[in-house]
Structure 1
């Protein structure tokens, strides 16, 4: 399992041909208390960089972009009733959607742990 990051603070945890997408702890901390998540629809086809979801906090609304191209295969239904999971557990219970990755080579352009740590320090 590999995790990559975007400069916009999304993560994608890669398991085979599936990517689990959410926002990083850094991003949720900057946003503050998450009060609403607009989830994508299952089956939605996304290009890399497309708006996939929207997270609303007490401070602002923030678009969540697709780190790679693919098709939304699953959404985190728990966020509909409990959007704060993104605050309390952004990398596990607070994931936003899963995507079937169309082109794994797009992952090469994303940041690894060290590069993301450098970006956020």
Structure 2
């Protein structure tokens, strides 16, 4: 069984699911509206499967009111992934800042290094 973060990244790995999330970022939509851009290239059961993956990953929630099945984006699922990535962004940013500081000290006075060589 996958942990929630793995499910989130797995769900985000598919371009169809990312497109569905992009559509939902503009507001709630029913399943038919979400399916419409993909119907020429995939079946309705395949679209339903994509929505199930997004729901299981916690990225969307689905509601049912009579015949209307609407979906909306769940920001909490995306926040967990963003928080996980943030710790690595901070690590790399600090590492690059240290590298930048080191390179500035090494290249601060390149002529001094040559001067010492000629004195010998």
- Same-fold call, TM > 0.5? no
TM-score by length of 1: 0.25
Larger Rg: 2
Higher strand share: 1
Q: Which protein has the bigger helix share?
A: 2
After TM superposition, the score normalised by the length of structure 2 is: 0.25
